[in-house]
Amino acid sequence: MTRPLVGVIGGVGPLATAYFLGKVVRLTVAERDQDHVDMIVFDHASIPDRTAFIVGASPEDPGPVMADDARRLAAFGADFLVVPCNTAHNFTDQVVAAVDIPVVSIIDETVREAEARVAGLSAVGLLATTGTAASGVYQRALEARGIRCLLPDDADQAVVMSVIYDQVKAGLRGDVDAIRGVADRLVGAGAQAVLLGCTELSVVAEDEGLLADPLYVDSLDVLARATIERAGGAVRAV
């Protein structure tokens, strides 16, 4: 039986894409190569910076580039697409319009996971790029479910961005204690869960064992599990 073929618009960023692929492999119930998920990966690192465009710091629009990537993956035979980048989901409409295959939303999957974990969820904290926060992709998804989205203040957002850009994207180890500090302040403001809404933060979570704490809902981990299930695989219990 032919299984669904996954198309991955990757490279946004490259390390996060590599961690996503690793998660899909490690989380798939498999006893041999042939039990794993079939994927086509376009590790397109030169896609223009998503946050820079959203906040008006760059005129280079990532949307048409991502739409073209989607067409190329669809032409290769992908049955559905995933994008292991939260900020890129500001441009999902352009990707969806470019192809006739589904695009799995990392945003919707992460919000659903948070709801499933916390009974009566009413408020979450969001750790993400300034672009993701400014785009409102998480706020809209949460508001539709009656959940408040709490954002870091300006000083804490600067800390988050430094971990994402100055550390992880630069190939350095992320400061997990700084992330914990921002998360703790969001909990103090009423957050019942903290969404790791940037896949560079997912890298920190993986490296530092952050997901042992049930407070954190990691978007990359959630997307990997959703990808396996949609591709006809089973998720390994860990």
Q: Which fold has domain 106-219?
A: Rossmann fold (3.40.50)
For 36, the 3-state DSSP assignment is coil
Residue 207 tokens, joined:
């490296």
Q: Judging by beta carbons within 10 Å of its beta carbon (0-12, 13-18, 19+), is residue 40 exposed, middle or buried?
A: middle
User: Active-site positions?
Assistant: 85, 198
- Please tell me if the domain spanning 6-105+223-230 has the same topology as the one spanning 106-219: yes
Whole-prediction pTM: 0.95
Selecting from 3.10.450.40, 3.90.1330.10, 3.20.20.140, 3.40.50.1860, what CATH number does the domain 6-105+223-230 have? 3.40.50.1860
Using CA atoms, how far residue 122 sits from 114, 148, 161, 217, in Å, is: 10, 6, 26, 15
pLDDT reported for residue 7: 98
Element (H, E) at 104: strand 103-104
Q: Where are the domains of the chain?
A: 6-105+223-230, 106-219
Give me the tens of pLDDT residue by residue for the chain, a chain 238 residues long: 588 999 999 999 999 999 999 999 999 999 999 999 999 999 999 999 999 999 999 999 999 999 999 999 999 999 999 999 999 999 999 999 999 999 999 999 999 999 999 999 999 999 999 999 999 999 999 999 999 999 999 999 999 999 999 999 999 999 999 999 999 999 999 999 999 999 999 999 999 999 999 999 999 999 999 999 999 999 998 7
Using CA atoms, how far residue 109 sits from 10, 37, 104, 178, 225, in Å, is: 18, 19, 8, 26, 10
pLDDT reported for residue 2: 83
Nearest to 200 by CA among 27, 62, 51, 6: 51
Spatial neighbors of 224 by CB under 8 A, at least 6 apart, are: 20, 23, 24, 27
The whole-angstrom distance between residue 140's C-alpha and the CA centroid of its chain comes to 16
pLDDT reported for residue 238: 77
pLDDT reported for residue 149: 98
pLDDT reported for residue 1: 56
